[in-house]
């Protein structure tokens, strides 16, 4: 894959470049701020970008803003955003266009190389990936008026795995269910969250977004 890396921390940026190169990917640009990210993506059209949330000049959410702005200009441009801490509002903003091709991981996840690389491939392929820590926090924060409250324990397990970007077949293997059982549970989730028939991937994104908005 052709990848753009955007992170102002030189050590992490160089580490990502080396890791990705060792896995056979090509880092076509490595930048340290949001403007550099925008320029590189518009010019090079990479398969996916790896973006730090916090970059110069204010080190708040410049990377996130640049990623969202790019997806407005290039709908569906794959973005895997890295953060030092859980912020569900960031994940919700990334998913807001419902297009897929986005990921939100904690930086600690990069150290788990196989998980990070798997997430990168899924995002590049149009999938949606949320860090398991983010998903756990979402599902633990259920309120009485939360639409997730109508989901069964099994359906909540499936929604968590959907949020982490797993396919139906992967979910079936993890939960030791048949493919038809997984499809039935997911159909029930869509119905309980009030998601009308639509493109399957789009509804998966909307289901995750519904959980982020509660």
More confidently predicted of 155 and 38: 38
Tokens of 17: 């470049």
Of the candidate CATH numbers 1.20.120.330, 1.10.10.10, 3.40.50.970, 3.30.230.10, the domain formed by 141-213 belongs to 1.10.10.10
Q: What is the pLDDT of residue 188?
A: 87
Report pLDDT digits (tens) over 103-146. 989 988 888 899 899 999 999 998 888 888 877 776 665 555 56
Buried-state track 60-70, b at ≥16 Cβ within 10 A, e below 16: ebbbbbbbbeb
Which regions of the chain carry the CATH code 1.10.10.10? 141-213
Q: Are 7 and 29 in contact (CB under 8 A)?
A: no
Strand partners, 81: 51, 104
Rounded to a whole number of angstroms, the CA Rg of the chain reads 17
Phi, psi of 78 (to 5 degrees): -65, 130
Residue whose entry in the numeric block shows the structure tokens 């990070």: 116
Which regions of the chain carry the CATH code 3.40.50.2300? 2-130
Residue 25 carries which DSSP code?
Answer: -
CATH superfamily of this structure's domain 2-130: Response regulator (3.40.50.2300)
Q: What is the pLDDT of residue 198?
A: 59
How many residues in the chain? Answer: 214
Mean pLDDT of the chain: 85
Q: Are 29 and 20 in contact (CB under 8 A)?
A: no
Report pLDDT digits (tens) over 145-203. 566 778 888 888 888 888 888 888 989 998 999 989 999 988 888 888 777 665 555 56
Q: Are 86 and 133 in contact (CB under 8 A)?
A: yes
């Amino acid at each position: 894959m052709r990848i753009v890396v955007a992170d102002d921390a030189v050590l992490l940026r160089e580490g990502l470049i080396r890791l990705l190169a060792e896995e056979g990917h090509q880092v076509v640009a490595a930048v340290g701020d949001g403007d550099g990210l925008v320029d590189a993506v518009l010019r090079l059209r990479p398969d996916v970008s790896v973006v730090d949330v916090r970059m110069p000049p204010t080190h708040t959410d410049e990377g996130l803003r640049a990623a969202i702005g790019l997806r407005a200009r290039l709908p569906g441009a794959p973005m895997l955003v890295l953060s030092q801490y859980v912020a569900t509002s960031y994940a919700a903003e990334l998913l807001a266009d419902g297009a897929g091709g986005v990921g939100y991981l904690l930086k600690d996840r990069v150290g788990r190389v196989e998980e990070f690389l798997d997430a990168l491939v899924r995002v590049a392929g149009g999938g949606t990936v949320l860090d398991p820590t983010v998903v756990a926090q979402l599902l633990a924060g259920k309120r009485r008026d939360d639409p997730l409250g109508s989901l069964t324990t099994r359906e909540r397990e499936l929604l968590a795995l959907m949020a982490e970007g797993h396919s139906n077949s992967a979910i079936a293997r993890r939960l030791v269910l048949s493919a038809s059982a997984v499809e039935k549970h997911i159909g029930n989730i869509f119905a309980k969250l009030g998601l009308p028939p639509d493109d399957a991937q789009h509804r998966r994104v909307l289901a995750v977004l519904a959980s982020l908005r509660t």
